[in-house]
A = this chain, B = another copy of it.
Amino acid sequence: MEHIFSYHHLREFTREVFIHMGCSLEHAALASEVLVSADLRGIDSHGIARLSGYVRLWEAKRINARPDIRVVHETPSTAVIDGDAGLGLVVAPFAMEIAMQKAAAVGTGWVSVKNSNHFGIAGYHAMMALERDMIGMAMTNASPLVAPTFSTERMLGTNPIAVAIPAKEQPAFVADFATTTAANGKLEILQRKNEEAPYGWIQDKEGHPSKNPHELKDGGALLPLGGDREHGSHKGYCLGAIVDIFSAVLSGANYGPWAPPFVSFLPLSPDPVGEGLGHFFGAMRVDAFRPAEEFKANMDTWIGRFRAAEPVTGKKVLIPGDPEREMHHERLENGIPVIAPVVKDMQEVAAKFNLNF
């Protein structure tokens, strides 16, 4: 059972909720734009489906609705930001803006963030760079759900990486992916439908391959991109580890198994190694390397050539960002389908704040 809502409706409702949590008007507008951009792009697991989770974190006093987000250390090309336990949805654009200002000044900017919370989809933040003719990058650590190769222990989050690269006539190249075989959101879909997962997505508590999407409740774990050692899971483990270190060890946030869980019913670590969750952002001015028009014309050639690559019969070769961009247009026009459990969730949130959904 799905209900269709307009983008405007979901965005406005979300904005109201953030205002009722105590956010400033500016922060509520930004946070709702970032959150619902996930629904627009078809990444349903990271959009309004998470709104009730943010509310519960706020109720548990793990989210500060009035954060004093500030730069605590910097050089001409770098900064560390303390998110003051604010919504990642507003801390991240603040940090990305600093990265872009540094890039404008010295060619590139790199910002590591501590004391933050879940920041929505990485792609939103990376894409902020596009209109300034910059390459944007965003990554974050997250609740530990992923076992390193040869381990049974959940040590890393699904730790996504987003890279947005501008082109000229072609739409931008936008990669945005979890460093696991499958994002947690895909597993949640299988859980709801009670369908099996392919081998390579999850393991049971002893580290054996499993098809049971509920395995994580019994001590199982998500697997790094690659799935098993023979298929390169050590590479996915490397990627997740790099995201964790750039986001949290560089900034002074909690890393690895100490990363704070998104769900408020799980306790925080009693012996934290840092503050809150960590993110990492990068911005590179393309004209810090070659004239922007020249770079973007070559990106058009790159994209055109890859789009024209010989396809497998019946298939189409895609450019990173194609499916999400098409979904964005489609949903902006025709509305966003929301499954019944999420509608119920929204109604409960609405009741809590005396709002209508």
Which residues of A does B touch, CB under 8 Å? 73, 75-78, 80, 106-108, 110, 112, 147-153, 155, 163, 165, 173, 175, 177-182, 198, 200-201, 206-207, 225-227, 230-232, 234-239, 241-242, 244-245, 249-252, 255-257, 273-274, 284-286, 288-290, 294-295, 298-299, 301-302, 305-306, 309-313, 315-318, 320
Contact = CB atoms under 8 A, between A and B. Distances in A.
B173 A245 contact: yes
27 contacts: A73-B289, A75-B285, A75-B288, A78-B108, A78-B288, A78-B289, A106-B106, A108-B108, A149-B317, A150-B317, A150-B318, A151-B312, A153-B309, A155-B309, A163-B238, A165-B242, A175-B239, A177-B238, A226-B232, A227-B231, A234-B320, A238-B320, A239-B239, A244-B302, A255-B298, A257-B305, A274-B298
Contacts of A284: 78, 110
A302 B317 CA distance: 39
Nearest to A284: B110
Contacts of A316: 150
A310 to B, nearest CB: 4
A200 to B, nearest CB: 5
Contact of A236 (B75, B200, B225, B242): B225
B152 A311 contact: yes
B232 A225 contact: yes
A318 B285 CA distance: 37
A177 B163 CA distance: 19
A302 to B, nearest CB: 6
A8 B273 CA distance: 44
Given A107-B75, A312-B151, A249 B200 contact: no
List the 3 closest pairs (A to B, CB-CB), nearest first. Answer: A75-B107, A207-B312, A175-B238
A107 B80 contact: no
A356 to B, nearest CB: 40
A105 to B, nearest CB: 8
A134 to B, nearest CB: 12
Given A78-B288, A249-B299, 6 more contacts: A77-B288, A106-B106, A108-B108, A234-B318, A237-B320, A251-B290
Contacts of A226: 181, 225-226, 231-232
A312 B107 contact: no
